[in-house]
Structure 1
Amino acid sequence: MKVLNLAQIKERLKDIDLLSIIEEGFALYSQEKTVVPPVAELLLPEQNGEVHIKYGYVKNDDYYVIKIASGFADNAKYGLPNNNGLMLVFSQKTGEVLAVLHDEGLLTDIRTAVAGAVAAKYLAPKNIKQIGIVGTGVQARLQLKYLQAVTSCRDVMVWGRGIEKLTAYKKDMQADFNIKTTLNAQDIANNCNLIVTTTASKTPLLFADDIQTGTHITAVGSDTVDKQELDAKILAKADLVVVDSIEQCKMRGEASQALRAGLITTKDMIELGNVILAKAPKRRDDKQITVADLTGVAVQDIQIAKAVL
């Protein structure tokens, strides 16, 4: 049995074409070539924590994967990162434990960011005038890092809740990007036509009336029933609503909020895998408004775990 620690995993990631393997995973999922049960979730409200267990396999493959990922929002006061976790890889033939990937949440963070780049590849406008990032945490940094593979735009506006975090974000990212910061999320909607939302907000941060014609939004922060970064009317206004999993997004994420509000139906939802496979429409022109609701599907964990082995 292999046991890989964080340093070993980071070294192996350097040689992996992450965009291709995550893109392939979405395609396999939408072709029903995977088995992905519903997400198991453990909420610890007194600790402001949550644990997600995602698991599954690609049919006729060698492995199945179980991923445990946690998020504890108050960990900063203990000097710890908010996110943690590991991935377990088993033999699909015998059930033998083949590997423990003690990634401390890194692989979840990376596969989420790469999924954002995949969504932008197919849905972002051709002419991106400015990228908008909602949030200042790890995912806000990684989303921007991996977007470099699919767009040449380096002009960025970032929204955060405080000057200190915005200043730190700008310092960390300004070597590769032209960073502007704002405390007003409306500035993102008014000035950016590729937007990525990365927060754990439970109330909308962006509103339909502020979204410009031609904007693409990738929403990755809302991965539970109660989180919401987008006004549900944005999805009703969008020309395309793309989700990572229709089944999963009925229950969690931005699409689920719009469904419960009666603003869209499941017929309005397109899976990202089908866009990749050209079985569903991608962006047609720079006038369309598009939304990608990415709640995180186990096939992403399967793909990145297999690649790291």
Structure 2
Amino acid sequence: MHIVPEARIAELVTAEAAFTAVESVFAAMASGAAYNFPVVREALGHEDALYGFKGGFDRSGGALGLKAGGYWPHNLERRGLINHQSTVFLFDPDTGRPTAMVGGNLLTALRTAAASSVSIRHLARPDARVLGIIGAGHQSHFQLRAAAAQRPFDKVIAWNYHPEMLPRLGETATALGLPFEAVSLERLGAEADVIITITSAFSPSLMDAHVRPGTHLACMGTDTRGKQEVEATLLARATVFTDEIAQSTSLGEAQHAIAQGLITQDAITPIGAVINGTHAGRTSEGQITLFDGTGVGLQDLAVAQAAVAAAIAQGIAIEVSV
């Protein structure tokens, strides 16, 4: 079995490699060659932590395994650690033997950003020039960098519940050569061609009235029952895509629109169908497209496979007998 420590991931997996891995696994899911296992997520009753497992099997890519981990909300303030902690385990689908253990923290950030950037490549208008971001936490910086690779944006505008965090996001934009401005939600919706939401909110910040025709939205923060970043009526006005329909309707942004009877499950399309060419995706300039990115286990397995392959090729994977 190979071990790839968290500290080596940054030198092994680029944003481009993560994009390729995630795009490929979304396509495999849509074609029926890959599927996710039911998610297990539990409140520990200790340190206010949430802990769980996401896994799946990609027959075409040969990935079998799971990601174990969760969210410890006091890590940063008490221990100087990031709040999300995870590890990916891979297994040989032919024998069931473990093949790899991979640090999953940076991989999670990379695969989440890759998912939104896949949606931008396949669904945003080609002439999109203004990127809007709602949220300024750890993940927002990965989102910004990944999005900037998909369209020639002229500027970045952003809003956050805690505005004092926005200058750091501005530094990331500046490093990419993009002007940055903190704006109101109303202005963000009025100006942005692409909007990424990446918060952990349980009530919507972006309202239906904020969003103009032709916008593409990547809603990346809602991955738990009760969470919500955008007004439910926005999904009724948009053409909705997702990573996995079962998660979108149960714990993603679509859960609220479904519960209110605004849309049905049949109105949601796996983004892999667009990648495979079996769905047209965006069909008009004025169409609002929305990607409900809930985060699936197969994304983690795909990027972990890429990390292991790179670590072996570079001779830095740690091999142990099991």
**TM norm structure 1:** 0.94
For the pair 1:120 / 2:116, whether they are aligned, the reply is: no
Does the residue aligned with 1:41 lie in a helix, a strand or coil?
strand
Q: Which residue is 2:217 aligned to?
A: 217
What does residue range 1-309 of structure 1 map to in structure 2 within 5 Å? 1-14=1-14, 17-44=17-44, 47-59=47-59, 62-78=62-78, 79-103=80-104, 105-176=105-176, 177-182=178-183, 184-238=184-238, 240-309=239-308
Out of 222-231 and 2-11, give the one that drifted further: 2-11
* CA contact 1:65–1:301 (8 Å) conserved in 2: no
C-alpha distance after superposition, 1:269-295 (max 9, x if no partner): 111011111111211222111110010
SS in 2 for 1:77: helix
Q: Secondary structure at the match of 2:153?
A: coil
How far apart in 2 are the matches of 1:98 and 1:252?
31
8 Å contact 2:15–2:114 — kept in the other structure? no
**What is the Cα-based RMSD across aligned positions, in Å?**
1.7
**Cα distance in 2 between the residues matched to 1:229 and 1:15:** 25
What residue identity is the alignment partner of 2:288?
Answer: I
Could you list the per-position Cα deviations for residues 21-55 of structure 1 after superposition, in whole angstroms to 9, with x for gaps in the alignment?
21110010111111311111122466443223111
Mapped to 1, the partners of 2:18 and 2:107 lie a distance apart of 11
**Matched-pair contact (CA < 8 Å) for 1:64–1:89:** yes
Residues 97 and 118 (structure 1 numbering): CA distance in 2 closer, same or farther, change over 3 Å? same
Distance, in Å, in 2 between the alignment partners of 1:179 and 1:231 is 25
Residues in 2 aligned to 1:163 and 1:172: alpha-carbon distance in whole angstroms:
16
C-alpha separation in 2, matches of 1:16 and 1:287:
29
Cα offsets for 1:177-206 (capped at 9, x unmatched): 211113x32332122120000000000011
Secondary structure in structure 1 of the residue aligned to 2:157: strand
What whole-Å deviation, never above 9, does each CA across 1:125-176 have from its counterpart, x for those lacking one? 2222311001001211111111122101040011112332112222343221
Is the Cα–Cα contact under 8 Å of residues 129 and 155 in structure 2 kept in the other structure? Answer: yes
CA contact (8 A) 1:112 1:220 kept: yes
Gaps of at least 5 residues in structure 1 are none
Give the letter aligned to residue 80 of structure 1. L
Any conservation in 2 of the 1:116–1:218 contact (CA below 8 Å)?
A: yes
Secondary structure of 2:230 counterpart = coil
Partners of 1:88 and 1:100 within 8 A in 2: yes
Supply the AA of the counterpart residue of 1:275.
V
Is the partner of 1:144 in helix, strand or coil? helix
Further displaced range: 43-52 or 265-274:
43-52
* CA positional deviation for 1:216: 0.8
Task: Specify the code of the residue in structure 2 equivalent to 1:228.
Answer: Q
State the alpha-carbon separation in 1 of the partners of residues 22 and 261 from structure 2: 32
| Structure 2: 5+ residue stretches without partners | 309-322
- Considering Cα pairs closer than 8 Å and 6+ residues apart, tell me whether 1 or 2 has the greater RCO: 2
Confirm or deny: 8 A CA contact 1:199 1:229 kept in the other structure: yes
Secondary structure of 2:122's match?
A: helix
